Amino acid sequence: MVATFTLVTDCPTDAATMFDISLDIDAHVDSMSQSRERAIGGMMSGRIGLGQTVTWRARHFGIWFTMTSKITTLDRPRSFIDEQVSGPFKTFAHRHTFEDTSGGCRMTDTITVASPIFGALAERLVLVPYLRRLIQKRNAALIRKVG
């Protein structure tokens, strides 16, 4: 089963700034300190670009996971997609979109995920809420960083 969810975050800065920081490996590592996530391969620092990969190692649900993702689409400063090319999921795609607003910008995260471990019910009750909270914390940390 594949689950898709969307998270909308209003940011007090412009779309181009949020776009750039969302592609920054160092900012991502800082924003994911609760899972001790770090880059261990590919692009390990700075801003990742189209066609580039990064391999992450992080602890989730008490288990260490390794996942390599690739930037498969990039349209600065409007959107980009990162997709798992190897790792724990059957499917993992994260579409980031950015739209300027009168008060800053609106950042929309759309995540499509399928787990080889969880069934459809567990994906909806455990995995999706966990990922939603993780992205909310990440977005809040990125906003603090540019604030």
What pLDDT score does 61 carry? 86
pTM, full prediction? 0.94
Domains of the chain: 3-146 (3.30.530.20)
pLDDT recorded at residue 112 = 97
CA distance 108 to 102: 16
d(CA 94, CA 80): 8
The whole-angstrom separation of Cα 128 and Cα 79 is: 22
The confidence score (pLDDT) of residue 142 equals 96
Backbone φ and ψ of 64, nearest 5°: -80, 130
DSSP helix/strand/coil, 35: helix
CA-to-CA distance for 12 and 34, rounded, in angstroms?
24
Residues of the chain with pLDDT under 70: none
CA distances from 143 to 27, 42, 52, 65, 69 (A): 10, 25, 24, 26, 23
User: What pLDDT sits at residue 4?
Assistant: 94
Structure confidence at residue 34 (pLDDT): 84
CA 55 from centroid of its chain's CA atoms: 13
Structure tokens at 15: 């779309």
For 79-95, write each residue's pLDDT tens digit: 999 999 999 999 999 99
Q: How many C-beta atoms surround the C-beta of residue 121 within 10 A?
A: 9
Contact of 10 with 104, CB cutoff 8 Å: yes
Q: Is 48 exposed, middle or buried, given 0-12, 13-18 or 19+ CB atoms closer than 10 A?
A: buried
